[in-house]
């Protein structure tokens, strides 16, 4: 099977797990295509879980065809029509999906078949495999091979390792169980990129050292997408915009093939927070994929607009360059709570 061609970089990837506000109203994703000066390339819909018995699939805490998701599926189709690729995120903090896919052949087929049918039914452009539970190398390879066999070369497969997993093969630095270095050697041509988690103590985005080390270890520049929490409420390791801007500028100038950035997650992204969560994507577009107003950003059909003075005043991070501030090392991982669709108990 030929390797998949790299998608245009730098990418801007948004994780979209919280689709509703606490009052039940929709947290619309459409502003990323209706607001000016935004060129998001990919949206990862989170989180898909494979439950018992086989065929019981949930999107967060509800079945995908639940009435609460009618608006969601309609909006995602609009994004795709606008040139943005929509992937489903499988797994994450909710464990069990990959354990079930890592068992004997008969059990694998029982759980995999409904997942394949779900991806087809919803027209997803790919899957982001967020393996945060022990899985064998043979198990993840089997899953990747089946997805490519069933959906073809154009189907996007990404993984979401913690940053430490790409810097060391020590099991203590890895939530997935298998070696990413070995996976890259054996199936790297089928993996589009890695949404690398530089937060919750697994990495530090206040400096470029982590990305530099991954490249030095042999990971291709275009396959490392650096991941950040978009709000301190979403986990430890938040990096202020003034600092992160310097990191982005350095990485983009140092590495012509820089893979891009991903944010966890959309609904409360700063600087706009819950009222204007799309402003995070505006900031990233300015520093990674800025183009002439009215032109089409490579890799998408999204046209760049021109921001108004009022919008610029609402988001001063887009205009001023501030001195780089000293930041402490990211703290060790710890339990934290914040509102999301995936944290609601039935």
Q: What is the DSSP string of 70-124?
A: HHHHHHHHHHHHTT-EEEEEEETTS-SHHHHTTS-HHHHHHHHHHHHHHHHHHT-
- 144 φ/ψ angles, rounded to the nearest 5 degrees: -60, -45
Indicate the pLDDT class of residue 5, thresholds 50, 70 and 90.
Answer: low
Give the whole-angstrom CA distance, residue 92 versus residue 156: 18
First to last CA, the chain: 43
Tokens standing for 175?
A: 């939530």
Tell which residue, 270, 66, 294, has the closest CA to residue 58.
Answer: 66
Q: Which CATH number fits the domain 11-343, given the four candidates 3.20.20.80, 3.40.190.10, 3.10.20.740, 3.40.50.2300?
A: 3.20.20.80
Give residue-wise pLDDT tens across range 173-207.
899 999 999 999 999 999 999 999 999 999 999 99
Give the whole-angstrom CA distance, residue 37 versus residue 283: 9
Tell which residue, 160, 101, 75, has the closest CA to residue 126.
Answer: 160
DSSP state of 164: H
DSSP state of 336: -
pLDDT value at 300 more than 90:
no
Give residue-wise pLDDT tens across range 127-161.
999 999 999 999 999 999 999 999 999 999 999 99
Tokens standing for 342?
A: 């995936």
Indicate the pLDDT class of residue 4, thresholds 50, 70 and 90.
Answer: low
Residue ranges per structural domain of the chain = 11-343
- 261 φ/ψ angles, rounded to the nearest 5 degrees: -135, 145
C-alpha 105: how far from chain center: 29
- Computed over every residue of the chain, the mean pLDDT equals 87
Give residue-wise pLDDT tens across range 67-106.
999 999 999 999 999 999 999 999 999 999 999 999 999 9
pLDDT at 82: 97
Tokens standing for 24?
A: 């039940």
Q: Nearest 5°: CA angle at 193, between 78 and 215?
A: 145
């Amino acid at each position: 099977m030929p390797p998949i061609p790299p998608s245009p970089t730098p990418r801007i990837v948004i994780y979209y797990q919280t689709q509703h506000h606490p009052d039940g109203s929709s947290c619309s994703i459409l502003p990323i295509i209706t607001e000016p000066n935004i060129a998001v390339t990919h949206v990862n819909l989170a989180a898909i879980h494979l439950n018992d018995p086989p065929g019981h699939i949930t999107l967060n805490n509800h079945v995908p065809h639940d009435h609460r998701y009618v608006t969601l599926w309609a909006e995602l189709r609009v994004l795709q029509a606008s040139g943005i690729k929509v992937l489903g995120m499988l797994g994450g903090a909710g464990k069990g999906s990959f354990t079930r896919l890592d068992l004997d052949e008969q059990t694998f087929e029982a759980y995999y078949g409904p997942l394949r049918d779900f991806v087809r039914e919803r027209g997803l452009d790919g899957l982001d495999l967020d393996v945060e539970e022990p899985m064998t190398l043979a198990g993840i390879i089997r899953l990747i091979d089946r997805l490519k066999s069933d959906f073809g070369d154009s189907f996007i497969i990404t993984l979401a390792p913690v940053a430490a997993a790409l810097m060391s093969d020590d099991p203590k630095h890895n939530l997935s169980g298998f070696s990413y270095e070995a996976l890259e050697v054996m199936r790297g041509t089928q993996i589009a990129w890695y949404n690398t988690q530089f937060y919750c103590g697994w990495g530090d985005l206040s400096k470029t050292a982590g990305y530099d080390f991954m490249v030095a270890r042999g990971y291709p520049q275009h396959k490392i997408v650096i991941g950040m929490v978009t709000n301190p409420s979403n986990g430890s390791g938040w990096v202020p915009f003034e600092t992160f801007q310097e990191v982005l500028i350095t990485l983009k100038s140092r590495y012509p093939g820089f893979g891009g950035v991903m944010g966890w997650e959309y609904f409360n992204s700063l600087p706009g927070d819950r009222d204007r969560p799309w402003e995070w994507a505006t900031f990233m577009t300015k520093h990674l994929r800025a183009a002439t107003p009215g032109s089409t950003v490579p890799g998408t059909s999204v046209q760049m607009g021109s921001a108004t003075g009022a919008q610029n005043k609402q988001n001063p991070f887009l205009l001023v360059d501030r001195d780089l501030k000293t930041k402490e090392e990211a703290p060790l991982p710890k339990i934290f709570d914040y509102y999301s669709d995936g944290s609601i108990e039935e």
